[in-house]
Amino acid sequence: MATTTTTITEKLASTTLDSADLSKCNYKNLEPYVHPPETKEKLNWAELVTLDLEDYDREGGKERLAKQLEHAVQHVGFFYVKNYGLSQEEVDNQFTLAKHFFKLPVEEKEKFECNYAAADYNGWRRSGRRVENNKAGYKGFDNVEIYNIPKFTKDFEGKYGQPDLLQAHLPEIEHFSKTLHKNVVLPLLRLFAIILELPDEDYLVKQHTYDKKSEDHFRYMIYKKRTAEEWAASGGGLGNGHTDLGTVTLLFRQPIAGLQILGDDGNWTWVSAQPGTITVNLADTISHLTGGWLKSSVHRVVTPPEDQWAYDRTGLLYFARPHNETVLNPLDSPVLRRAGAKSRFEKPVTVEEWVKAKQTLQLNPDIAAKRWAEAGDGTVEVLAGFRDRKYKE
């Protein structure tokens, strides 16, 4: 039933399901995803606060949570949330879909491949596009596959096809994404507004409403297991420190250790997988909206401990971003005024321009290599005078 062409119409036609296709995608026909065991190695774990979102609607809850978060959002950029209104079964089902999506044949996945040249990250990103170098000069390629699903709004309706596996479960994926937005992203934005003493507690929420056009997306991701030689050739991810480009990133529990964050003290620590939580990190646009006062945290994914080398690392993430039209100047906040926060750009920059500039670098390794080489000082101009840089290994 599927075609091998890539036009949108044909992609959509290829996702029309008959009843036989539907049943093959039922969970009873899909081997459930099971998390790999945790490492037994003693690692230098980061100490992160956990927000209990159940407290949010209680009397004084928002203020308590804002207080709890204040230090983390300025100095750490990472924290956990729990009680976010999705059951463990719903979370497990999404991991099962991720597992089976990545097991599809390449010929099936490539029907939904990203349009890299257009900096459009929705769809499937194949592994091996990014060259990784280690210090000894060995060259390896990344082993990461990604599948991004945009917001379920009229702006994206009919724009991207889905493989049968996901088409059959699209209403659940929609519910899952929207619940994360409503139960996690929006409450966090109110807590940020309280911390920033914004007169309107909903100011940031109004820049992040679900129905208006923005580049939020839901992601399945896999770091495929590697041999010792492949790990050596890759440089172990030590040089991959980066910040995320949006408002916040939500990351579901993943027991394969690999995620590290760069602390204010210049040291890397490991992020552990706390049961029942989502790991949240602050990213660039919220940092831009506060002139850098809120911390877009630097992180990387490195070689897991050896006792986990036999496993793939499957990820489930949600990326929140402001509306495309939002201008990334510092908000009118008493806290930011006291701190003397200034715009990080030489001219007004919208989220849409920011996303396009960052994604052009992220999706096109050739362009990125050339642009990083231009300055020759370990930095690259993303746009309007704002520079990204390489972080400490």
Q: Can you give the binding site for Fe ion, defined by CB under 5 A? A: 244
Extract the runs of DSSP E, i.e. beta strands, from the chain.
50-52, 78-82, 123-125, 131-133, 139-141, 144-150, 217-223, 248-252, 259-262, 268-270, 277-282, 299-301, 313-320, 379-383, 386-389
Residue nearest to Fe ion (CB): 244
Whole-number minimum distance, CB 68 to Fe ion, in Å?
Answer: 24
Which residue's CB is nearer to Fe ion, number 103 or number 389? Answer: 389
Q: Which is nearer to Fe ion, 164 or 216 (CB)?
A: 216
> How many whole angstroms separate alpha carbon 174 and alpha carbon 94?
11
Composition of the chain by helix, strand, coil, percent to 5:
35, 20, 45
The backbone torsions φ and ψ at residue 391, rounded to the nearest 5 degrees and listed phi first, read: -105, 160
Contact 338, 198 (CB under 8 A): no
For Fe ion, the closer CB: 215 or 244 = 244
What is the CA angle 141-304-319, rounded to 5?
A: 75
CB 313 within 8 A of CB 254: yes
For the bound state, the minimum distance from the C-beta of residue 101 to Fe ion, rounded and expressed in Å, comes to: 20
What number of residues does the chain have?
393
Q: Which of 65, 327, 332, 326 is nearest to 187 (CA)?
A: 65
245 contacts 354 by C-beta, under 8 angstroms: yes
Nearer to Fe ion, 189 or 301 (CB): 301
Q: Which is nearer to Fe ion, 152 or 268 (CB)?
A: 268
Q: Least distance (Å) from Fe ion to the CB of residue 299? A: 6
Q: Considering beta carbons, is residue 183 or 362 the nearer one to Fe ion?
A: 362
Whichever of 181 and 242 has its CB closer to Fe ion, that residue is 242
The β-bridge partners of 242 are: 299
